[in-house]
Structure 1
Amino acid sequence: MVTVRKVRIEYKRNPLGIDVQKPRISWQLQSDRRGTAQQAYQIQVSVEDTFQLVLWNTQKVDSEDNLHIPYEGPELVARTRYFVRVRIWDEQGQVSPWSEIGHWETALLAAGDWEAQWITPAEDHLNRQEEAAFLLRKEFEVRPQIRSARIYSTALGVYELHLNGTRVSEDRLSPGWTSYSHRLQYQTYDVTGLLNDGANAVGMALANGWYKGNLAWDGRSNIYGDRRAGLLQLEIRYEDGSRQVISTDETWSSATGPVVYAEIYHGETYDARLEISGWSEAGSPSGSWGTVETLAPPAAVLKAQESEPVQVVSEIKPVELIHTPSGETVIDFGQNMVGWVAFRVTGEAGTTVTLHHAEVLDGEGNFYTENLRSAKQQIRYICKGGQEERYEPHFTFQGFRYVKVEGYTGELRLDAFTGRVVHSAMEQTGKFECSNPLLNQLQSNIVWGQKGNFLDVPTDCPQRDERLGWTGDAQVFIRTAAFNMEVASFFTKWLRDLQADQAEDGAVPFVVPNVLDGYSSAAWGDAAVICPWNLYVCYGDRRILQEQFASMKAWVEYIRRQGDNEYLWNTGFHFGDWLGLDAKENSYIGATPTDLIATAFYAYSTQLVSKAAEVLGLEEEARKYKELHSRISEHFHLEFVTPNHRLAAPTQTAHVLALMFGLVEGPAKERTAATLAKMIEDNKYHLTTGFVGTPYLCLALSENGYHETAAKLVTQTSYPSWLYSITKGATTIWEHWDGIKEDGSFWSKDMNSYNHYAYGSIGDWLYRVLAGLDAAEDRPGYKRILLKPQPSEEFEYASAELESMYGPIRSSWRRDSESLTMAVEIEIPANTTAQVTLPEAAADRVMEGGTLLSQTEGINSVRQLGSAVVFEAGSGKYSFSYPLAARLAEQTV
């Protein structure tokens, strides 16, 4: 029997508090039968979980679609829970049982739904520049027989919410970081179980965060505003149908408490002696409480939470206590991570424990923080005394592996310290492993780099005085990111901020949200096009193209207006092949000409805009940009390719981009590929690429007949290579290939992050090429899967798994060099198909579970293409085995 499972609304299971007017419904099918497909579906939506009164009933819809089906029922009402269930008819016409009941709940759908006012401590009570976190509180009475209660809240700053002495949510650093001048997220919390009959109290703790705090390396603060403020609306519904609203207004009180200092970069100081007992409980809390005043609403539009909230996702225990040569006491957590340390301490009142955070130790084994630049990453805890105390930070985060402890009284025991790993709470969806243990560590490093830098925005690094949403880093990594984790909501939110911060002329900022002054470098601004296209390919999300198409087109038109030739981009500032190893002395920009890079990305983005227009049914736009792409390609060839088919720029990156973006064809393509491979081989299988060339390097080699060259490059361990950092003990991806040099010294302290995910984009090659798990663009979201393992002499096996929107996909191969046999295992989720390519195989010698391939259930259209066998497969699990072509050749001889 086919069953329907994992019903999701806007990518989430049972979301609470969304403001999407036509939320999309998706589901998976589960079946042990091969070739299972959906023929039709029926969706029912009700405001009752009994479905006695059905609000929207699609009836039976003949369609194989089971992703992103938009709700088309009556207009949704704010503050309402909607229940949904789905059933399907399979390819045999059999109807499934109804799915488990899912639900979503609407938030506040219009500005008029807000009754709350923005409040902040009165100026005559607390200085607006006060460093301490503000405490805001309100007492209220509640009648018996509560049916439900919701809080809708946000802040100018970051906040924690407490109700009757209990933390309302596990969310951290809410409301997250958006383009605050345009958009501000608010959160919805179910607090039904936290209310008491009679007296209650609600409290909000409020710190600077990204809104008002120090951002970037020039020490700027108050970028979005100079006053922290809170907004909260508690709505209580009673069994008799009545409604009570408690919201922020002039009747609230304010004070400061134990968080006397909090900054994202610099850390937090917590004085436990200043704790206010019962500050969020009914009664008369201690402390000096004053009045609040209301503020005019900010210009930003309030939006319900779009991405996953930041949460403590896991914990790490320390692995070693180190006493350094210089006498420091240092805790090693064994993993470069992002979050903070929770600890226990017993000390007299006033005892101060200070934690300093660092990524590495220096060559002599001492604590090293120079690469943090001005970021202090310092936690200070001042004891109240009398008993064991427990503490973890509230309004900051650190990037670290090592923690230097000062002022700790008594014996320092490792079990008193716990690393709390913090990032956006995305589901981990991908897994890769192979026969090379160093490469498995690289995969771990890639995932940890993503965890550390996907903290509400895709940041470049999580430790120094930067931590910004660099557009170039995001676009080169997005495809790898979408394998490792479910990033659709995360990037959807970020792309909305990119569009909000995009200039009227189409220029795209270097960072999003934009807190710098720079715009429009090639490969950085192209995130406006590359990111939405990849979300479409990976998740089948057509709406992201609809939302972002104006932004995508505006970026291409911006480029088109630059310079005196609309088909070349040869003007303006560009980061070029950032940190390329072929850069001139004292330069961060690689040797590849920036106009070549800019024109190549211009061509690529134009091609993607044309594809997006075609998907959206915009035929004229598709034709227009297809023609523009053709002209750009022609001019690229005239400008950068000689009559003898030689690429004018003798760099690895130039050759990589020309190949990957289809800018050379025929003899020029052959020569470019051969030259690239020779560059790698002549350099003893080392790369010289930077941020622009590295993501595509191995893809370009493998796709153009030099797969073994790519494999040798990936498994290289000496500098410069991906695995060099592994030999130096790295547990995340480095910003520089030689962040730690052979002699133990460091690259420049000015820019040397040890958690910088851009070079982790090699994960894309590991998944899509080596393991062979890919999506077809013409049937996106893995509706049609391309399973094409590409073994190499460098590996005995490789395996990739992905929890797609349709369900689990697997591609795994194992090569036995002694017996010259190959084993390939695949898994295809229900309601999808796959094109499978078995390498070095003969069609009449491939067996699946003891049956010849041609007689295997679920397999059709078997073809022999050269030394590979290609066929179509329906859903199910398959296990293939066959002798390699080399063995067959020996037997023939």
Structure 2
Amino acid sequence: MTHPYGLRTEHRVEPLGLDATRPRLSWKLRADRRDATQSAYRLTVAAQPADLDEPRRLLWDSGRRGGDDLEVTWDGPPLRSATRYFWRVAVWDERGEDASVAQSWFETGLLHRDDWVAAWIARDPTVLPLVDPPTDHDEPARPVLQLRREFDLDRIPVRARLYATARGVYEPRLNGQRVGDLELAPGWTEYHHRIQYQTYDVTDLLRDGRNVLGALVADGWWSGYLGFDPRRAAQHYGDHPSFLAQLVVDFADGSRQVIATDANWVERPGAIRAADLLMGEYVDARRTVPDWDAPTGSNSGFAKVVIDDTEPGPLVAEPDQPIRVIRDVRPVAVHPRKSGRTIVDFGQNLVGRIRLTIRGAAPGQRITVRHAEVLDDGELYLDNLRRADATDVYVAVGTGTETFEPRFTIHGFRYVEIAHLAAEPDVVARVIHNDTPFDGTFECSDAAVNQLQSNITWGQRGNFVAVPTDCPQRDERLGWLADAQIFAPTASRNADVSAFLARWLRDVLEGQDSDGAFRDVAPVIGLDREAAPAWGDAGVIIPWHLWRTYGDRVALERSFPSMVAWVDHIRRHNPDLRWRHHTGNSYGDWLQVDATTPRDVLSTAYFARSAQIVAEAAEVLGHHDVAAAHRGLHGAIRAAFADSYVGDDGTIEGGTQTGYLLALAFDLLPANLVRAAVDHLAADIEKRDTRLTTGFLGVALLCPVLAEHGRADLAYGLLHQEKFPSWIYSIQQGATTIWERWDGWTRHGGFQSPAMNSFNHYSLGSVGDWLYGRVAGIDQTPTSVGYQELLLRPLPGGRLTWARAQQETVRGTVTCGWSIKDGRITVTVAVPPGSTAILEIPTSDPASVKEGGRPAADQPGVRTVQPSAAGATLRLASGRYTFSATSQGA
């Protein structure tokens, strides 16, 4: 049978609080035989699971529909606010028999403005003026809000939902307990356009009688320090945090009670005296207010709040996976230092916070925790943090065992220094990031390459926090567009980032100006200028990537007008089709080493690429006139590039690796000059003893272009290179994440300038896409969407004896791997139901290809086997296969 699994609504599993009025329902397929597919499906929806078996009680029945669609947009009756819908998909296999079913649910949020009755509440500034804490953390005077509201219930409810958000970051509380497990909610968006709210099921936390709803609220991205601006975010958003929430309680008789934020709430500062994402958190446990979030019947010591705003504003339900604590990491080493300091090594550069268990502290004992990514002569290296203090402070009560775990700050660190703790620390690092499912794996026979893959993955974890940031440790942490667009293909291999990137893409679109120019960062903070080439092009490249990878037509349609406007903006200011004007703060191939690619070579190449993508997107969306116009524009830019920057001998102006890579990857060369350009590229690499010069943009293209043009030997040579600059060089220096710079630290030069030197910065890790796509071999054909037609091209080489990868696609699980032993290559693949595959086996003898010990052409699911430039090319139906053949060179 063909079985559906991985059911999702709007790219999420069982979302609680959804505001899409026509959500997309999707599923994947698996089967235990070959050539399986889906011939038909049926969707049914009901208010209760049992009703799915009662045709008369169904809310929507799609009826049996023929086809292999794995995503259907809701076309049932209008959805109601705050309602849970249970849905089931039935799938018929290719024989039209034996339907297999799976079911899931989603729950709507507050779909209409009239659903909101809450007001924004904040601290009364006349009670506690808003002042910044002193830099020495002596007694901060910007304490976190500690809000509460008591209320009575005369019976136990059957259903209760809390809808909450903040201008800032918040943690909800109910009857003395934390609500949910979300961190740093509501996240960071273009607050002027969208503030996300979260939905919590709190039914089991309520009791008959007196209850209390509470919340802690800190500055966060709204009014804390942000970016590298020395001012607080008040310059961008607001000067203080506020809170908005409503608790909706439903009873068995159909009645409802709503408790919302209003003037009846009270507030009193507690133990958290200051909290900032960049600076850290200061907790004086002696200032704890007992039972502040428990029902006491008294508000003694609390002050009335003020109403900040009665209009909810641009609220949207959180559309992607929230930020959570994902895992704990224990120390690998503890190093005592002088003056009561201890340095703890967690063995992994990560992002999050620590949880410290304290025993036997003296009353008022002050414990300081500082964070750093690397050590310098055995001590924390802090210079590269710039203005970020990254320091947490705990003042102990001094009775029994105490636990210190900050709530409203995160740090990038491998090491912490704990000062003034009497005993050896009992500490754990808590890893925090958006809970995108990490469902892709790559591994091979080379331990150094496996460490590279680990570094790439950890860099993604640490920088996918609210937005795809450049770095997680210093005073920046911004959503740089170029970093995201070059890393998106790798990110999509490691994890399902469909909802995460689609949500952030809205920030990109909302940052576009009236002339069509995107910005360098999203959300727009501190860099309100036209985006640079390759930075602004993310507004075109990422929507197309979401379409190709996930089949996300909604993101493509939403983005399309902005994509067209961006290309029109460039063309309008560069009528000669060489992109030399309106280039913003043109960064070129950022952080190249020992080379400089001419700015207009790079910018014109990206101009051509964006025009080409707009043409392809227009065709997909049915805008055929726009498609034709942009195909013509792309051809004209391509000709201008060749006329201006390409010599008759295939040289590219500037002669850099990146220049050649852009021209080859973006197909900007006349066919008769491609081979010559490849030779020039190879010659430059070889004369440097197989070393790269590429920066952020060129590095993503380096190995793919070389392998595509017959120089896999050089691609592998660069992958395995141990000398500076290279990926493995940084690993030999102890890197456990990708560095911002090739020369972040070198044996010959020590640390690079602390003005810009992050040790967790995923951009140079964009080679991960090639590890999955060519080393292991998982790819799709150029016209495929959502991996419906796979292109499996394992590429043995270098010092590898085996490699394998597994990737979850929107259609199901894809695997591809190879090993070589005793002159034979073994290739294993898995193709999900409904997909087909072209498999290239590198063999010197196509006739030697066997599957299951028999000639491959005779095996079920193998449709064709023919010789090809790769060795042998096979066309496969869905299923699992193990092929063997004489290896190349055997």
What range describes the TM-score normalised by the shorter chain of this pair? over 0.9
Residue in structure 2 matched with residue 471 of structure 1 by the alignment: 481
Distance 2:65 2:809 in 1: 24
How far off is 1:457 after superposition?
0.4
| Counterpart code for 2:827 | V
| Contact preservation (8 Å) 2:706, 2:714 | yes
Q: Counterpart of 1:146 in 2: which secondary structure?
A: coil
Q: Counterpart of 2:59 in 1: which secondary structure?
A: strand
Q: Counterpart of 2:745 in 1: which secondary structure?
A: coil
Distance 1:775 1:513 in 2: 32
Residue in structure 2 matched with residue 264 of structure 1 by the alignment: 277
How far off is 1:643 after superposition?
2.9
| Contact preservation (8 Å) 2:808, 2:814 | yes
- My pick for the range that moved more, 666-675 or 351-360, is 666-675
- Which of 157, 167, 171 in structure 1 is aligned with 2:182? 171
Following superposition of structure 1 onto structure 2, how do residues 455-534 of structure 1 map, counting pairs within 5 Å?
455-516=465-526, 517-534=528-545
Check 1:401–1:218 CA distance in 2 against 1; reply closer, same or farther (3 A cut). same
Residue in structure 2 matched with residue 91 of structure 1 by the alignment: 94
How far off is 1:365 after superposition?
1.9
Deviations 1:333-358 (A, max 9, x none): 10001000001113122101000000
How far off is 1:665 after superposition?
2.7
| Counterpart code for 2:441 | K
Distance 1:17 1:299 in 2: 17
| Counterpart code for 1:466 | E
Deviations 1:355-375 (A, max 9, x none): 00001111x222211111111
Distance 1:885 1:310 in 2: 47
How far off is 1:557 after superposition?
1.2
How far off is 1:582 after superposition?
2.6
How far off is 1:807 after superposition?
1.8
Distance 1:562 1:550 in 2: 18
Residue in structure 2 matched with residue 748 of structure 1 by the alignment: 753
Distance 1:565 1:866 in 2: 40
Deviations 1:820-859 (A, max 9, x none): 2111011111221111111124332111111211101101
Residue in structure 1 matched with residue 84 of structure 2 by the alignment: 81
Residue in structure 2 matched with residue 770 of structure 1 by the alignment: 775
| Contact preservation (8 Å) 1:323, 1:329 | yes
Deviations 1:423-480 (A, max 9, x none): 0011012111111110100000000000000001000000000011011110110000
Residue in structure 1 matched with residue 67 of structure 2 by the alignment: 63
Residue in structure 1 matched with residue 138 of structure 2 by the alignment: none
How far off is 1:125 after superposition?
2.1
Residue in structure 2 matched with residue 588 of structure 1 by the alignment: none
How far off is 1:299 after superposition?
8.3
| Counterpart code for 2:840 | T
Residue in structure 1 matched with residue 115 of structure 2 by the alignment: 113
| Counterpart code for 2:524 | N
Q: Counterpart of 1:350 in 2: which secondary structure?
A: coil
Identical amino acids, percent of aligned pairs: 40
- Which of 720, 729, 735 in structure 2 is aligned with 1:730? 735
Residue in structure 2 matched with residue 788 of structure 1 by the alignment: 793
Residue in structure 2 matched with residue 574 of structure 1 by the alignment: 586
| Counterpart code for 1:875 | S
Distance 2:281 2:299 in 1: 23
Distance 1:228 1:688 in 2: 46
| Counterpart code for 1:765 | W
Whether 1:124 aligns to 2:135 is no
Deviations 1:467-497 (A, max 9, x none): 1101111011000000001100100110011
Distance 1:769 1:569 in 2: 35
Q: Which ranges of structure 1 fall in alignment gaps of 5 or more residues?
A: 584-590, 888-893
Segments ≥4 residues shifted beyond 6 Å: none
Residue in structure 2 matched with residue 708 of structure 1 by the alignment: 713
Query: C-alpha root-mean-square deviation of aligned residues, in Å?
Result: 1.5
| Contact preservation (8 Å) 1:4, 1:29 | yes
Q: Counterpart of 1:779 in 2: which secondary structure?
A: coil
How far off is 1:592 after superposition?
0.7
Q: Counterpart of 2:766 in 1: which secondary structure?
A: helix
Whether 1:599 aligns to 2:613 is no
- My pick for the range that moved more, 771-780 or 855-864, is 771-780
Residue in structure 1 matched with residue 31 of structure 2 by the alignment: 31
- Which of 36, 58, 65 in structure 2 is aligned with 1:54? 58
| Contact preservation (8 Å) 1:259, 1:268 | yes
| Contact preservation (8 Å) 2:463, 2:472 | yes
| Counterpart code for 1:400 | F
Q: Counterpart of 1:8 in 2: which secondary structure?
A: strand
Distance 2:866 2:301 in 1: 81
| Counterpart code for 2:663 | A
Whether 1:183 aligns to 2:194 is yes
Whether 1:351 aligns to 2:365 is yes
Whether 1:535 aligns to 2:558 is no
- Which of 688, 696, 699 in structure 2 is aligned with 1:691? 696
| Contact preservation (8 Å) 2:119, 2:311 | no
| Contact preservation (8 Å) 1:506, 1:558 | yes
- My pick for the range that moved more, 10-19 or 296-305, is 296-305
Q: Counterpart of 1:723 in 2: which secondary structure?
A: helix
| Counterpart code for 1:544 | A
How far off is 1:778 after superposition?
2.2
Distance 1:503 1:748 in 2: 34
How far off is 1:325 after superposition?
8.3
How far off is 1:644 after superposition?
3.3
Distance 2:740 2:298 in 1: 49
Distance 2:154 2:256 in 1: 11
| Contact preservation (8 Å) 2:156, 2:206 | no
How far off is 1:500 after superposition?
1.0
Distance 2:160 2:481 in 1: 40
Residue in structure 1 matched with residue 374 of structure 2 by the alignment: 360
Whether 1:205 aligns to 2:225 is no
How far off is 1:214 after superposition?
0.8
Whether 1:16 aligns to 2:16 is yes
Whether 1:417 aligns to 2:431 is no
Deviations 1:78-127 (A, max 9, x none): 0111110011111111132332x311000000111101111112232232
Residue in structure 2 matched with residue 273 of structure 1 by the alignment: 286
Residue in structure 2 matched with residue 397 of structure 1 by the alignment: 410
Following superposition of structure 1 onto structure 2, how do residues 839-858 of structure 1 map, counting pairs within 5 Å?
839-858=842-861
Residue in structure 2 matched with residue 822 of structure 1 by the alignment: 825
Whether 1:254 aligns to 2:296 is no
Distance 1:325 1:435 in 2: 43
Distance 1:297 1:665 in 2: 62
| Counterpart code for 2:863 | N
Deviations 1:858-893 (A, max 9, x none): 010222113521121111110011112433xxxxxx
Q: Counterpart of 1:822 in 2: which secondary structure?
A: strand
- My pick for the range that moved more, 727-736 or 3-12, is 3-12
How far off is 1:613 after superposition?
0.9
Distance 1:839 1:193 in 2: 59
| Contact preservation (8 Å) 1:537, 1:776 | no
How far off is 1:4 after superposition?
2.1
| Counterpart code for 2:362 | E
Q: Counterpart of 1:171 in 2: which secondary structure?
A: coil
Whether 1:831 aligns to 2:844 is no
Task: Give the number of equivalent residue pairs.
Answer: 872
- My pick for the range that moved more, 553-562 or 119-128, is 119-128
| Contact preservation (8 Å) 1:600, 1:636 | yes
| Counterpart code for 2:375 | L
Q: Counterpart of 2:392 in 1: which secondary structure?
A: strand
Q: Counterpart of 2:734 in 1: which secondary structure?
A: coil
Q: Counterpart of 2:258 in 1: which secondary structure?
A: strand
Q: Counterpart of 1:857 in 2: which secondary structure?
A: coil
Distance 1:789 1:669 in 2: 24
Whether 1:162 aligns to 2:173 is yes
- Give the structure-1-normalised TM-score: 0.96
Q: Which ranges of structure 2 fall in alignment gaps of 5 or more residues?
A: 132-140
| Counterpart code for 2:91 | I
Check 1:582–1:368 CA distance in 2 against 1; reply closer, same or farther (3 A cut). same
Check 1:739–1:327 CA distance in 2 against 1; reply closer, same or farther (3 A cut). farther
How far off is 1:744 after superposition?
6.9
Check 1:261–1:327 CA distance in 2 against 1; reply closer, same or farther (3 A cut). closer
Deviations 1:538-565 (A, max 9, x none): 1111111111111211111111122452
| Counterpart code for 1:429 | D
Deviations 1:248-294 (A, max 9, x none): 00011011111101111110000111111111111156873101121
Q: Counterpart of 1:592 in 2: which secondary structure?
A: coil
